[in-house]
Structure 1
Amino acid sequence: MIRISTLALFFVACSFVAFGFSGGLQASEIDFNDDVLPILEEHCLHCHGEDEQESGLRLDMRGRMLRGGDSGLAALVPSHPEKSYLIDVVNHVDEETAMPPDEDKIPAEQIEILTRWIKQGADWPGQMDQVAEDEVDHWSFLPMQTAFDHNSIDQFLESKLGEAGLTFNRAADPRSLIRRASIVLTGIAPTPKRSDDFVAAFAVDADAAYDALVDELLASDHFGERWAQHWLDVIRWAETNGSESNLYRKNAWMYRDYVVRSFNQDKPYNLFIREQLAGDVMGAGDATGFMVAGPHVPSATVGAEETAIRQARADRIDEVLQTVGASVMGVTIGCARCHNHKFDPISIQDYYAMSAAFQDVEFGSRYPELSPEHPRVVREQELRRELNELRGQMRAPGWAWKEDWQGYQEIHFQPKTTREIRVSFDNGWVNADELEIIEAKGGGQNVAQRSFGTVVRGNPATLVDGKPAAKLTDGVFGTKGWIAKSPPKSKERPWVEFEFPEPVTVSTIRISTNREDFLETDYLNGMNKANYGEFKIELRDDEGNWKAFASTAEMQKRKSGKEKRQDLQSKMQDVISELLVQGPQPAFLATFIEPVETFVLLRGSPETPHGKVDAAGPKQLGGTLDLMPDAPGPQRRAALADWLVDPSNPLTPRVMVNRIWHHTFGSGIVSTPSDFGKAGAPPTHPELLDWLANQFIDPSQQTPWSVKRMIRMMVLSRAFRQSSEPEKDGLSKDASAQLLWRYPPRRVEAEVIRDSILQATGRLDESIGGPSYRIHNVKARYAQWEVVDNHSDQTWRRMLYQERMRRVDDHMFTAFDFPDCGQIKAKRPVSTTPLQALNLMNSDFVVEQAAFLAARAKREAGNDTSAQVTRCFELLLARKPTEEEAEEAIDFAKQQSLALLCRTLINTNEFAFLP
């Protein structure tokens, strides 16, 4: 037996205590000055001290260690060494961030001292009162000013003008004013008659005529179209995903229609924001397309590699945050994805806390949740009643019929009660992803599904390995379904049998091939193609033999006495086609998944998760959401939306009124509309900006958060109504007219040029909403979209409704800085290039429309060339030509053609610029 002396036991115990392994006894206290500071001085402070702070990290001050450096991770979390980034880097957890760099690790005993010091609370004599956060001092993040020396837009502007020795310009002439107001508010130039009427009324009472004009334009349905495009620019909305495959996003236009409708209804802006983040629980499911408006890479392109899947998911969440940051907050949130924001009070912790609010959001399609009053729901009810009436007419004589719902087909027949049913196919090769058998009564349950207890069998002679008939009832839509194939030279054909656990009464069979495409995309070669051909539905007779009672091939035949059935089926298909457009349909408005825990990702990589975070807005902007960590996704999004539009949040109202000012006057009070941070431009009139923001959200107003009220206030101002003519004094002191001594002239956008040409020719289709007009081909999955028709009568709607494909030049108006929708365009660039003149002179669209315009002028003015020329000026420029212009234009029209004169007028600055 080995004996250990009492003295030896004492020394062993002392050793365990000294190194912190006392097994319950108190570890020895670490002294900062004696134990910790020498380690920092030897290994750290030459790069992270008073003179130099690489990566923004300073380790000679406790407060700065608490805050961390550019990585956004706290170097020091008292009592928690496992959360302290300092311990990670000295332990070389990640070789890319190992510290000290290019050296061996610091000795293990020194790492142990640092670890124990942090675990004991990180006592630092003389610095225990230091805090981690810096003060927020940038103007846009501070509370709004509430006391002002002025009480109108013009008073604020005149004050600044006076300081510069300037005054407002003279008033604009009435023709310039109506053109300016019409384009700013509706995006379409006024008609000649409306201009003439306004000029006449203006001569009698200028203020009354202008007030009436503004009210008329604000009430126009075209107002919503114009201002919706501004919003869509900011959020990068488009109808393809922008990836390598660049697939079409099914029915994404439903979100565009929501935006148009919201602006036309003057939906309060705070409600507009709430619905776009949480419309799925507010009866406005079509609003959530906002969150998935940006580009994304679909799962098929990402592949099956787990790291790639995680990275793609992180990228999609980043797209959501970029959209919210640029449009609502006016901050570049994405800059905090890999480290603390370099300029603004947004940390990497804030970035991932905000991302936690969107963990249930996924890019994809769903049936939107709509209120009973929603126009789509109302129209659906009307069409469903019509469809059910036609179905009743089919059932009365006992007929079966087929309905094509694009993504699937339904066969309807007289109710049959049975325990077995078989579907037999004529083709020797069949592919389908799901086959559903619907009960005739009750809730229309799918009795073919596995959970019902149904057994499904396929013809063993046509079996394809890995593609059994059981895939028809697994509830998974896509390409990985059932495949059956007849052996060579065999008469065997595919069939599937369903045996129910008990007798059921059924009346419908629904079958689809790749219904996933039906839900997600469109306009692909072979998409939704029925790869099962014709088939018949069979029951067993008294002898146990299968006997058909319905056949899709028979339904297509026109036999004597069957014309009525064919006519009814044709009418039903027309109703279904209308329902697929006007009713609630699967649309690219986001899908929702179960949210997962959210972690700060070191350097933005999903492979280096650090600390867990809960849903919140930026901490230094008061973004606490008071949510439980496991709050469901809709609750998180709704809470974030409430914080965004809370009156105490100064960013949201400032950003929106500045955006309205930008589109009204051509440049914002802050000239970087989506960046109100330190890297953005300072406001030219900060007091005016805050006054407008206060006016915008003022609860005492009859319509707080009203966009139309704010626009009306701006366009009724003297600043808006003044002339754009240059003045020598103004040009010398303020050439860019930032102080608004004149209304700043500017070239109109691509849409205004195109829509105004169509209006002048009389060919503009003014219908509101619905699917975009098609200008592209039907393509293979990984081919590129090509413009095949951009000027036929099918396309003569407003350009807002042109199919929006990322990475595709429309061969005409892209030259006028129309955005690709891949990048945020809160402020469109304005360029001047030879291609613009070439497009407005020689493009197929302009040549065709100029011919229409000349024909209209001849029709309305008669055979006199002078009258025809005058009519062309009126239709395009809303005025008569001067004597000199008339003389030259008449001569030109006689020598060349009236159509060529029209093309020339379309190329003038007067047509392409806002006066």
Structure 2
Amino acid sequence: MAASRFSAFLMLVCVSVSAYAETITPEQLKFFEAKIRPVLIRECYGCHSNESGNVRGGLRLDTQELTHIGGSSGPAVVPGDLDESLLYNAIIHEDFVMPPKRKLPQNVIDDFRQWIEMGAPDPRVTNTVEIRSSITDEDIQTARESFWSYQPPVKQSPPEVANTDWPRSDIDRFVLAKLEQADLTPAADAEPYKVLRRICFDLVGLPPTPEQIDAFTDLWQSNPDRAVEYVVNRLLDMDQFGERWGRHWLDVVRYAESTGREVNMTYPHAWRYRDFVIDSFNNDKPFDHFVQQQIAGDLMPAKTDQQWAENLIATTFLAIGPKNVNEQNRVQFAADLVDEQIDATTRVFLGASVACARCHDHKFDAIPQTDYYALAGVFGNMTTYFGNPPSEYGSFNSVQTNRSSSLLLLPVKDPNPFDKRYTKQELKDLEDELKEKLEELSSVRRTANDGDVANAQRMRIRLSNEMSTISNKLSVVDENGMPRSYCMGVQEREQPSNARLLVRGEIDQPAQSIQRGFPQVLCSTQPSIKSRESGRLQLARWIGSEENPLTARVMVNRIWQHLIGQGIVTSTDDFGITGQSPSHEELLDYLAVRFMQSNWSTKSLIRDIVTSRIYRMDTAYDQHAHEFDPDNALLWRANPRRLDAEAIRDAMLNISGEIDFNRPRGSAVAEAGYTRVTAGVLGNPRDIARKAIESATRNFRGMQRGARNRIAETVARQVTGQLDQEDSKHRSVYLAIVRDEEPRSLSVFDFADSSAIIGTRESSNTANQALYMMNNEFVIQQSAAFADRVIRERTSPNDRLEYAFILAYGRPPTPSERSAAASFIKEFSSSLGYRSRGEETIDALCQSLFASAEFRYLD
């Protein structure tokens, strides 16, 4: 099993070389010294040793550790694994030809085979250097005691204010006190329809209905506070709340359904994590538990199989990041994987960039390089599952990827809805085909031994790909052909070990071993990690606890930013010394403490903010206030905000009446399965797929063009996320998100970069957006459906115009807008060249409402 071989190898790399040498038996030592070392010195050291100077391919073979690390093509020796040991493949002239001009005698080759199979015992040790940090204990202590975010949040009392009639909550008092100190006055309340539109988009990502507008306006006239509280409570109980706020979280955790990079392989089970996040927000799961599940769910206790399955799915957070599966060196891949997991965990939950210390001390935040490798030991002692499960008939890697992985088998029956079911005969046919390919591969190896290396290499690549495809089909079903249930995630290894510090972060320059632990500047007392524990569960419990000074602050700041338009700390992912200082430090602490005391309830915190007076302020401009505070850091008015991509698309679907609120099962990527994503940037995806189908079926002249096109369309939808997915009527959170191939409806409006941790999205206003709203097929479809709804539900022209404005903007048209609309309808009707019944003009009018700035912005 590839995953187990991968785990075993990484374990060996982490173990101290000297300790490893002590386990070699006298017989093994004698075998190495008599049979292996002389050949290495005679045949290899001339090009692949420290003494050779500029080593070829980065490969050095003069120590055990460097031999295991290997060079640019991967590890030279993987103990116990001939197929993965490139040194053996080279001396048998399979993948490489070494020595270059002749083949070693068969008895020497047999010796190397026996040596690798016995575990490659090797007494050669590396002279380990010790790197000393330039950051002292005093530096760490000083930073911990002096910098605001490294100190625990303190419960703050609301300040006194002069205008006691204005505040509606303690939040208002904190903001108003700062405004009064600056001699500034908060803006008046916005109009009720604006407040309602703001609340609806912020909480559920959808515009208010005409019925909601009428009810809210009536209640506002008598009691604005009660009106806001009533609608907030109703919206927090809707399933659409979790879809809206779950998408915010997916931005931060770099959610996507493929690996990205040069070889972009799909994640067919990523949708399970998406649904887990949405359900967690809808259920108002305590945030501390939500944090712990994602970091160490596989290690947390579970009373039922369903809870255990949820915990496993939660750890997809650690597995879902971008990966260079084309990396040839598995040690480099493992180091990069751990680095990505450290970066995501620390920035997402702590707002701290610990990954900066991979190569050197991070002096600004007092994070020594040793602290990074203390965490690397924690994360390096788990296996990450992200690929395709190996079949019981064998696992075969496609030559498209150098790094493969398995998946976690769930303890409940919940298969991917698109997994194929096989009959017993179909299973037998696949097994027989796989056996035939194996026999053919054996003959190819004999061909290579006869000297026809080039032809053998081509045949081996073809067979490897074909066997990988068959194995992938067999891997996801049981012995009866029924699909198994899998998820992405992580699992702890049985024998944890410490990581070695790497000089400048280079895998071939290991220094001293570092005890597993947490960043010292954030953790005054290091945890007690037993020898049989990795420390990951302790890390999860520490991050998701009141003992951590940053977790509550960081999440509170993220929520504040989504509701107010800018964070109290504007650098949402950087609470370190290089980040921005908080505009209202006491308010941030007040909210963080209140958040923790409310059992880490996200809904309670949102309710507190939305029912405050500052939330309902108008966006009116004030010259004096702007000159004093041009960035509105003191919050003298509400921030005008453009809707994000999902809200714009969902609003069009909702207004047209075509939105489907049922949660789809899986996604388009789940339907495609484990496959490589077509490089859509090279051309139209449909054209690419059509050419591939035509090439594959050129011998079938009788195939009708329509049938071929349907096949091409199916393949195009399976292998790329570049398609707009304009036919989907589900909410945008359920669209397939493939790295580097995001749907046009999202990417044009500054969708989050799914390969990065995005705490704050860009918000632009570009010509491309205007062109999209004018010409895109999805916009045109929804405009026509919008018009159909208006015509169907209203009869007179005046009522239709007013209804269209209320649906799009939450308000009736002004007299000038009525006049402008009448002129537009008259001119457009004339341009058609005939007297129409008005449907075409209403289509155009509805599209113009969608294309307007007021539709895309919250005022």
Name the TM-score class by shorter chain: 0.5 to 0.7
Q: Among 243, 247, 259, which residue is 2:277 paired with?
A: 259
Q: Structure 2 stretches of 5 or more lacking a match?
A: 1-128, 160-168, 301-307, 388-405, 447-458, 687-715, 718-722, 829-840
Partner of 2:808: 876
Matched, 1:280 2:298: yes
- How far the C-alpha of 1:465 sits from its partner, in A, is 5.5
Amino acid at match of 1:293: I
Letter in 1 for 2:547: S
SS across alignment from 2:255: coil
After superposition, residues 634-783 of structure 1 pair within 5 angstroms as 636-698=535-597, 703-768=598-663, 770-773=665-668, 781=676, 783=678
Gaps of 5+ in 1: 1-117, 123-128, 384-403, 414-422, 435-457, 468-478, 485-510, 521-527, 531-536, 538-571
Shift of 1:718: 0.4
| Counterpart for residue 515 of structure 2 | 614
User: Residues 348 and 876 (structure 1 numbering): CA distance in 2 closer, same or farther, change over 3 Å?
Assistant: same
Alpha-carbon distance in structure 2 between the residues aligned to 1:286 and 1:777 = 20
Aligned residue type for 1:302: E
The CA deviation string for residues 684-704 of structure 1, in whole angstroms up to 9 with x for no partner, is 011111111111112xxxx42
Matched, 1:597 2:498: yes
Structure with the larger helix share: 2
The answer as to whether partners of 2:257 and 2:669 remain within 8 angstroms in 1 is: no
- Give the superposition deviation at 1:602: 1.2
2:336 matches 1:315: yes
**Counterpart residue number, 1:292:** 319
Distance 1:831 1:776 in 2: 33
8 Å contact kept, 1:773–1:803: yes
Is the 2:410–2:485 contact (alpha carbons within 8 Å) kept by the matching residues of 1? Answer: no
After superposition, the C-alpha distances for 1:709-741 in whole angstroms (9 at most, x for unaligned) are 111101111000111222233222223221111
1:411 and 2:424 aligned: yes
The residue that corresponds to 2:75 in the other structure is none
Residue 657 of structure 1: CA displacement? 0.7
Percent identity (aligned): 32
Residue by residue over 1:612-660, the C-alpha shift from the partner in whole angstroms, topping out at 9 and shown as x without a partner, is 1232111222165534453334xx2210011112312211111111111
Q: How far, CA to CA, are the matches of 1:200 and 1:640 in structure 2?
A: 51
Query: What is the alpha-carbon distance in structure 2 between the residues aligned to residue 632 and residue 514 of structure 1?
Result: 38
Residue number in structure 2 paired with 1:804: 737
Corresponding residue of 1:163:
181
Q: Which secondary structure state, in structure 2, belongs to the residue aligned with residue 620 of structure 1? A: coil
Q: Cα RMSD between the aligned structures?
A: 3.7
Please state whether the residue corresponding to 2:744 is helix, strand or coil. Answer: coil
Paired residues of 2:186 and 2:636 also in contact (CA < 8 A): yes
Q: Does 1:824 align with 2:757?
A: yes
Please, which of 832, 838, 859 is the counterpart of residue 792 of structure 2? 859
CA contact (8 A) 1:257 1:769 kept: no
| Residue type at the aligned position of 1:649 | N
TM-score by length of 2: 0.67
The 1:737/1:784 distance shift into structure 2, 3 A limit, reads same
CA contact (8 A) 2:246 2:281 kept: yes
Q: What amino acid is the match of 2:814? A: T
Tell me, yes or no, if structure 1 residue 302 matches structure 2 residue 327: yes
Change in Cα spacing, 1:710 to 1:517, as seen in structure 2 (3 Å) is farther
Which residue matches 2:487?
Answer: 587
Q: Amino acid of the residue matched to residue 726 of structure 1?
A: Y
CA distance in 2, matches of 1:737, 1:831: 19
Pairwise CA distance, 1:131 = 5.7
Structure 1 match to 2:120:
none
Q: Rate the CA distance shift 1:273–1:405 in 2: closer, same or farther, 3 A.
A: closer
Q: 2:627 is aligned with what amino acid?
A: S
If you compute each CA radius of gyration, which structure gives the higher value, 1 or 2? Answer: 1
Tell me the SS of whatever aligns to 2:845.
helix
Provide the residue aligned with 2:455 in structure 1.
none
Indicate how the Cα distance of structure 1 residues 267 and 670 shifts in structure 2: closer, same or farther if over 3 A, else same. same
Residues 116-515 of structure 1: pairs in structure 2 closer than 5 A:
133-136=140-143, 137-150=146-159, 152-282=170-300, 283=308, 284-298=311-325, 301-303=326-328, 308-359=329-380, 360-365=382-387, 406=419, 409=422, 411=424, 430-431=433-434, 464=443, 514-515=470-471
Tell me what 2:28 maps to.
Answer: none
Letter paired with 2:471: R
Change (3 A) 1:433 1:648: farther
Q: How many Å separate the matches in 2 of 1:257 and 1:512?
A: 30
1:886 alignment partner in structure 2: 818
Cα distance change of structure 1 residues 223 and 626 upon mapping to structure 2, 3 Å threshold = same
Q: Does the 8 A contact of 1:349 with 1:600 survive in 2? A: yes
Equivalent position of 2:777 in the other structure: 844
TM (norm. structure 1) is 0.63
Query: Quick one: which amino acid aligns to residue 189 of structure 2?
Result: A
Quote the offset at 1:840 in angstroms: 1.1
Report the alpha carbon displacement of residue 596 of structure 1 after superposing the two structures with TM. 4.5
Relative to structure 1, the CA distance from residue 833 to residue 255 in structure 2 (aligned partners, 3 Å threshold; closer, same or farther) is same
Deviates more, 1:171-180 or 1:780-789: 780-789
CA distance in 1, matches of 2:255, 2:441: 47
Amino acid aligned to 1:288? T
Per the TM alignment, residue 340 of structure 1 is displaced from its structure 2 partner at its CA by: 0.9
Measure, in 2, the Cα distance between the counterparts of 1:200 and 1:251: 47
Closer, same or farther in 2 for the Cα pair 1:755/1:327, shift >3 Å? same
How far off is 1:754 after superposition?
A: 0.4
CA distance in 2, matches of 1:345, 1:784: 42
Cα distance in 2 between the residues matched to 1:461 and 1:585: 32
Question: Structure 1 or 2: larger strand share?
Answer: 1
User: How far apart in 2 are the matches of 1:743 and 1:432?
Assistant: 68
Give me the whole-angstrom Cα distance separating, in 1, the residues matched to 2:847 and 2:615. Answer: 31
Q: CA deviation at 1:775?
A: 12
